[in-house]
């Protein structure tokens, strides 16, 4: 990638994280205001957005690396995504097994 492309990518990722953080914060704030209605679900949605932001960054990087045909970094990024997915699946399975135990 050229220096200009690097700068553009960094700007795009910074914007994704900046605006995503503002959006997630706004959703959590709205959930706290709506506490008596369904605020807990709204707050949980905001937290889920915070968790999704780094994943979106990795997905964006995967697309960029594929676009530039940098297959070494595509492989590394794919391993990162598979690791995240495995962690989510294991976490969900463990929470289901705990729920069944009680």
| Chain segment 35-89, per-residue pLDDT in tens | 777 778 888 889 999 989 989 999 999 999 999 999 999 999 999 999 999 998 9
CB 28 within 8 A of CB 46: yes
| Cα 86 from Cα 33, distance rounded (Å) | 35
Higher pLDDT, 69 or 6: 69
Q: How many residues does the chain have?
A: 102
| Cα 14 from Cα 71, distance rounded (Å) | 24
């Amino acid at each position: 990638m050229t220096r200009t492309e690097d700068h553009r990518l960094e700007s795009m990722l910074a914007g994704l994280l900046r605006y995503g953080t503002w959006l997630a914060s706004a959703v959590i704030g709205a959930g706290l205001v709506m506490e008596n209605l369904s605020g807990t679900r709204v707050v949980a949605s905001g937290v889920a957005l915070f968790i999704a932001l780094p994943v979106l960054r990795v997905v964006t990087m995967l697309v960029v690396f594929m676009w530039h045909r940098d297959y070494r970094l595509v492989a590394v990024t794919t391993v990162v995504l598979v690791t995240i997915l495995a962690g989510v699946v294991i976490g969900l399975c463990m929470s289901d097994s705990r729920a069944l135990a009680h």
